[in-house]
Every structure is written in structure tokens, then in C-alpha cells.
Amino acid sequence: MYTLNTAMPVLVVDDYQTMVRIIRNLLRQIGLEDVDDAPDGAAALLKMKERRYGLVISDWNMQPMSGYDLLQQVRSNPETRDVPFIMVTAESKTDNVLAARRAGASSYIIKPFNAQTLKAKIETVCGQAAYPARATVA
């Protein structure tokens, strides 16, 4: 069973400041206080070059760089490819969920959501990162 590391730095990426505040408050409710934010994917990439985050929570729809584009950049960089990444969106279309999964999203949350949902997703994705699947030897 994974125990949430409350000292873990989290990066919240959303162009809507109200949503950033909501996610910050939800993270605080579950014990995560070390939270940075960025208004779009490009700004997030700059922050990720300066600091190693234990988790990225990103909105899908942003300009000029979307959360989907950010995810692709994060996964293509050897230094950030293993960072747990939760995509957040109001879009519940199956195509979007599948696209996010194919691009390497650790999980996907559809707005609106509460602290309990967020905590469960974080524990799942961070637990997977903490205990990667063992390679089998043939």
C-alpha cells in the first residue's frame, strides 16, 4: 500500500486561475502543501527545467500549449518521462481519454471532482511510480 508523500512538490498547470485555486485547496485538504502553478504548457516546461516535481496535474485545454502537448513533451524528455501526470478536463469524450492514455497520462480526471477523488488518483499514480512493474526475465 502506497503512503502519500506529503512533502512531494506538485505542479498544477491551468490557464484558469480559479481552477488553480480550487486544485490547490483540494491538495491542501489531502496534505500536499508544496504546490507551484503554471498558466500553460510552455510555462510548465520552464518550471520543470528548474525543479523536479513528484506530480504534474494539468488541464487539457490551454493556449498556446495545451496539456496534451505538455504531456507529450514531458514523456519525450528522459529527465521528466517518469513523473506521474494527471490530466484534468471537462471533456469526457472517450477519444480524449484514450488519446491522453496513449500519450502517457498516468490518469485522467473529469471536472468537477472532489478531494477524495483527487487523493485516490494521486495515490494510484504515485504508487505506480514508487513501485514500477518488475521486468520479467525469459
Can you give the pLDDT at residue 134? 37
Can you give the pLDDT at residue 8? 94
Of the candidates 3, 13, 28, the residue with the CA atom closest to the CA atom of residue 80: 13
Give the Cα separation of 110 and 100 in Å (integer). Answer: 12
Of the candidates 36, 29, 32, the residue with the CA atom closest to the CA atom of residue 8: 32
Q: What is the pLDDT of residues 120-132, one digit of tens each?
A: 999 999 887 654 4
Q: What is the dihedral of CA 58, 60, 62, 65, to 10 degrees?
A: 80
Q: Which regions of the chain are under pLDDT 50?
A: 131-138
- Terminal CA-CA length for the chain: 28
The DSSP-derived string for 67-129 is HHHHHHHHHHSTTTTTS-EEEEES---HHHHHHHHHHT-SEEEESS--HHHHHHHHHHHHHHH
Q: What is the pLDDT of residues 94-123, one digit of tens each?
A: 888 889 999 999 999 998 999 999 999 999
Task: For the chain, list the domains and their CATH numbers.
Answer: 10-125 (3.40.50.2300)
**CB-based contacts of 18: which residues, under 8 Å, 6+ apart?**
none
pTM (2 d.p.): 0.90
CB 38 within 8 A of CB 44: yes
Grid look-up 488553480 returns 20
